[in-house]
Amino acid sequence: MSDKEALLVLRDGRVFRGRALGAEGETHGEVIFNTAMSGYQEILTDPSYRGQIVTMTYPMIGNYGINEEDVESHKPWANGLIVKEASACPSSWRGRMCLDDYLKAHGLVGLQGIDTRALTRHLRDHGAQDGIISTELDVERLRERARALPGLVGRDLVAEVSSTKPFTWTEGAWDPSRGYVAPPPARFSVVAVDAGIKFNILRQLGAAGCDVTVVPASTPAEAVLERQPDGVFLSNGPGDPEGVPYLIDAVRGLIGRVPMFGICLGHQILGLAAGGRTYKLPFGHHGANHPVKDLATGKVEITSQNHGFAVDPASLAGRGWEPTHHNLNDDTCEGLRHVELPVFSVQYHPEASPGPHDANYLFHRFTALMESAGKTGPRQP
């Protein structure tokens, strides 16, 4: 690992000095913190982190290395990574390379050796903000450039991560002892709108009996309906939901015409398409330990989350929508459903890999919604 000095300079002028991790050079993005203890590989390859520099709060990261199975997309999407200590000697029978080598292989700039507790407290108290990681040591010049960074509000980051053409998902679920396990025979045809979808979401849909076709986020509503799906899934994705008006328009054209299930950005897009509003959270929800209450059952789920924006449920009052889940940390809305139409969404990640499995039932809730809409027979090849 490099002993070269590197800096993190935040928009508000705060400076953290450490050592370069991964590729040398410079990167910028919104600096956020993630409270998960593991899952750094899934985090780096989650398209929802596009535009962000991720700070891991757990003190040692990389201790089980990097393997070929646990990626959530075909490459890392996070703009950068900050850790207290990156393990130089990972130990796992599944590990194929260390974190530092993985970052170098993908040209991803990181930083280690800083007080990540101090950085996390700063972001918690002052809010997530743009920053620069650089091996250049001219602090004043970096501060000036950090102040000029564009931020995430209003930007379309979905266009950077979405697929460019439709494809069919056929991969089964991964079992450490057996490898990939083929999904069961499909009962439902689902179109997944890709705003930055994760592989494990597709695996979970397949495991629930769905034949999944993934389409770009720019696909109009009529083009989706031409495929005659039993249901439509709205995926997770990065950035400000108001930055993708074309997706909002498409979803508006789908509501009430086909059963729908949205998560994360898909939840926010659904809220906007229904006539509501979204707002930016001070430092977002990023981690695998967020408590969420199901308002119908009273059950509390521990959830995996990654988002910086939220839906204001009051903005949907009188429009036929009701909140279904509630965040116990900050009282934000974690789920919506229409009281008459077959449409629902959650703000968190029920696929949770790695992380809690409390919310896996939501994929079966989606299939039950499609079944109740009259689509019950096996799909013809």
Q: Which residues are catalytic?
A: 264, 349, 351
Query: 């969404």: which residue's tokens?
Result: 345
Q: Return the closest-CA partner of residue 27 out of 111, 123, 115.
A: 111
Pairwise CA distance, residues 291 & 289, whole Å: 6
Strands 343-346 and 260-263, bridge-based pairing: parallel
Q: Return the closest-CA partner of residue 268 out of 318, 326, 312, 314.
A: 312
SS (H, E, C) 76-87: CCECEEEECEEC
Pairwise CA distance, residues 333 & 314, whole Å: 10
Chain centroid to Cα 240, Å, comes to 12
Are 26 and 135 within 8 A, CB to CB? Answer: yes
Half-sphere exposure of 196 (CA within 13 A, CB side): 33
Query: 């597709």: which residue's tokens?
Result: 202
